[in-house]
């Protein structure tokens, strides 16, 4: 057989992607639906050679895996559909720029209203008021009125700090020797969970908050599915203290999971919660 006559390997109709650790399965036609986009350039080549892959052979893209769902939705029908109170608009715009989707970037760009309306886009100034012919005193008065209007939208005053509770919890395990005569051996905390109002959790923990299990939760709703991207309790305590929270309660439970047959060491599992409050 003359192997030189064999055609170059082409892409399958169904393609698996690993985007920042999140797996997506979509059609080849979807990935090439927007000409000149980054994905179009990646998958319009004649061969798969040169594209990064993960350990399972999926094509790998080192970007935000959770926001990519909206990128993929847009590429299916070139329409932007976001959940109410979507908090990641700026980050999604940055992803759209990376994937070279100019029309999506335009749809995500903040809109400045001439009426200086106060909506989801935030408190924005009227561009007509910034002309040099406007009296300085009038400008200062307009700025003061806008600041007061912005502050009135946030309960708790100008600083925007709201009262409320945040609970953080973690599951742990430790080994205890025979007759409790030896030191307990603690294992590393695997995950710190966050419960409370969505807006408070995002205010306190910011980019260190993992929202992957509840990504579309409105800011005024409550959740118990967030967790932190770090595993140091002291770091979580510092962030809560910096935001004005104080610990008001804590509790812990423990159960003996099993005992080692040869050493009589007992392995205990526990769940601990810390309740913080800000007035």
pLDDT for 224-262, tens place per residue?
889 899 888 899 999 999 999 999 999 888 777 666 666
Residue 95 — very low, low, confident or very high, per pLDDT cuts 50/70/90? very high
Identify whether 137 is part of a domain.
Answer: no
Please, how many CA atoms are within 13 Å of residue 147, restricted to the half-sphere of its CB?
9
Give the pLDDT of residue 71. Answer: 94
Q: 99 and 172, same structural domain?
A: no
Q: For residues 88 and 19, state if they share a domain.
A: yes
Residue 171 within a domain: yes
Q: What angle do CA 273, 277, 278 make, to 5 degrees?
A: 155
| CATH of residue 46 | 3.30.710.10
On average, the pLDDT of the chain sits at: 77
Which of 64, 84, 108 lies at the terminal end of a domain, its last residue?
A: 108
Query: Would you state the pLDDT for residue 194?
Result: 94
DSSP summary character for residue 119:
B
pLDDT at 156 over 70: no
Domain edge (last residue) among 65, 85, 108:
108
Domain membership flag for residue 130: no
Q: Name which residue leads in pLDDT, 149 or 43.
A: 43
Q: Is 267 found in the same domain as 201?
A: yes
Pair 271, 169 in one domain = yes
Each residue of 217-229: pLDDT tens digit? 888 889 988 989 9
Name the pTM for this structure.
0.43
User: Between these two residues, 160 and 118, which has the higher pLDDT value?
Assistant: 160
pLDDT for the residue 132: 45
* Domain contains 5: no
Range of the domain at 216: 164-177+185-278
Report the percent of the chain where pLDDT is more than 90. Answer: 39
Sign of the four-CA dihedral 229, 233, 238, 240? positive
Residue 92 has pLDDT above 80, yes or no: yes
Per-residue pLDDT band at 279 (split at 50, 70, 90):
confident
pLDDT of 189 higher than 50: yes
pLDDT tens for 104-124 read 999 998 765 444 444 444 444
In a domain, 196, yes or no: yes
Residue 27's contacts (CB-CB under 8 Å, 6 or more residues apart) are 13, 14, 15
- Residue predicted with more confidence, 70 or 265: 70
Strands 14-19 and 59-61, how do they pair?
A: parallel
Is the model's pLDDT at 127 over the cut of 50?
A: no
Residue 97 lies in a domain: yes
Tokens of 242: 């910096």
Number of domains in the chain: 2
């Amino acid at each position: 057989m003359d192997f030189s006559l064999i055609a170059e390997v082409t892409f399958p109709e169904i393609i698996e992607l690993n985007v920042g650790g999140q797996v997506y399965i979509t059609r080849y036609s979807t990935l090439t639906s927007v000409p000149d986009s980054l994905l179009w350039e990646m998958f319009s080549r004649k061969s798969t050679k040169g594209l990064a892959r993960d350990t399972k052979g999926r094509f790998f893209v080192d970007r935000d895996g959770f926001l990519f769902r909206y990128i993929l939705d847009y590429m299916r029908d070139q329409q932007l559909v976001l959940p109410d109170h979507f908090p990641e608009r700026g980050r999604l715009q940055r992803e759209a720029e990376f994937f070279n989707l100019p029309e999506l970037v335009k749809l995500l760009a903040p809109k400045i209203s001439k009426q200086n309306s106060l909506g989801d886009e935030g408190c924005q100034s009227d561009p007509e008021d910034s002309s040099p012919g406007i009296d300085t005193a009038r400008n200062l008065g307009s700025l003061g009125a806008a600041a007061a209007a912005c502050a009135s939208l946030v309960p708790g005053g100008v600083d925007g700090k709201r009262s409320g509770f945040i609970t953080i919890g973690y599951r742990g395990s430790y080994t205890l020797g025979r007759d409790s005569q030896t030191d307990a051996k603690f294992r590393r905390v695997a995950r710190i969970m966050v419960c409370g109002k969505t807006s408070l959790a995002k205010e306190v923990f910011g980019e260190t908050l993992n929202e992957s299990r509840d990504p579309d939760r409105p800011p005024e709703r409550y959740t118990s599915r967030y967790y932190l991207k770090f595993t140091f309790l002291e770091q979580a305590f510092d962030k809560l203290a910096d935001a004005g929270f104080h610990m008001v309660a804590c509790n812990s439970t423990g159960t003996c999971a099993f005992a080692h047959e040869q050493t009589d060491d007992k392995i205990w599992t526990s769940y601990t919660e810390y309740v913080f409050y800000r007035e």
